[in-house]
């Protein structure tokens, strides 16, 4: 997730006029899907701990 945030910040904040690097929507979607899968694992672990 750190890499995801760093890259999104680089795109969003590297230029006041326009982005220097346009994100590839397919790559970003795949990355978000991976993050969601990992968050679901964490959520399940927390749920199990609370039982």
**This prediction's pTM:** 0.60
Angle value at C-alpha 36, between 34 and 37, nearest 5 degrees: 65
The region, left, alpha or beta by phi > 0 then psi within -120 to 50, assigned to residue 43 is alpha
What is the arithmetic mean of pLDDT over 9-29?
Answer: 75
pLDDT of residue 6: 73
Mean of the per-residue pLDDT values of the chain: 83
The one-character DSSP state at 1 is: -
User: Mean of the pLDDT values across residues 21-28?
Assistant: 87
pLDDT digits (tens, 9 = 90+) for 26-41: 999 999 999 999 999 9
Q: Please, what's the b/e burial string for 1-39 (b: 16 or more CB within 10 A of its CB; e: otherwise)? A: eeeeeeeeeeeeeeeeeeeeeeeeeeeeeebeeeeeeee
pLDDT at res. 7: 72
């Amino acid at each position: 997730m750190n890499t995801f945030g760093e890259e999104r910040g680089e795109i969003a904040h590297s230029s006041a006029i326009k982005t220097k690097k346009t994100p590839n929507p397919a790559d970003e979607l795949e990355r978000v899907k991976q993050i969601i899968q990992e968050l679901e694992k964490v959520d399940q672990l927390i749920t199990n701990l609370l039982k």
